[in-house]
């Protein structure tokens, strides 16, 4: 199988030695998306809701570039800087999976890049 690098201008460019996503066969592995505006590359203003929306928009843009969408997602891993934001995060996150949510892990971590509140990565499958 051939490994294909996925890149889109509609999500933030990588800020380190990684790519936005990799596709191998019918499986897409995204890198973690943080709440950076893809144009300015600045962290979006606002709390967990605004940051989660930007993260999910970035994630959906990467998936779209790979020929996938929310319904293609098999599993996500979600990182929160404070588990007290769990309910507010869930509300925004759930709005992106209207046809049913994928498997998921959600953990609190000590710190995220650029001191953001949330990061989400995904594994998706496309025909």
The residues that are catalytic are 106
Each residue of 74-102: b (16+ CB within 10 Å) or e?
Answer: eebbbbbbeeebeebbeebbeebeeeeee
Return the number of other C-beta atoms located less than 10 Å from residue 21's C-beta: 26
Rounded Cα gap, residues 62 and 126, in angstroms: 13
């Amino acid at each position: 199988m051939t490994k294909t690098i996925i890149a889109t201008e509609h999500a933030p460019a990588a800020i380190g030695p990684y790519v936005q996503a990799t596709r191998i066969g019918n499986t897409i592995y995204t890198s973690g998306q943080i709440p950076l505006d893809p144009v300015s590359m600045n962290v979006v203003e606002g709390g967990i809701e605004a940051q989660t929306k930007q993260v999910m928009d970035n994630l959906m843009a990467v998936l779209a570039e790979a020929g996938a969408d929310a319904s293609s997602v098999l599993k996500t891993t979600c990182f929160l800087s404070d588990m007290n934001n769990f309910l507010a995060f869930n509300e925004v996150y759930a709005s992106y999976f209207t046809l049913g949510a994928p498997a998921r892990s959600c953990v609190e971590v000590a710190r995220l890049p650029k001191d953001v509140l949330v990061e989400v990565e995904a594994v998706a499958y496309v025909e």
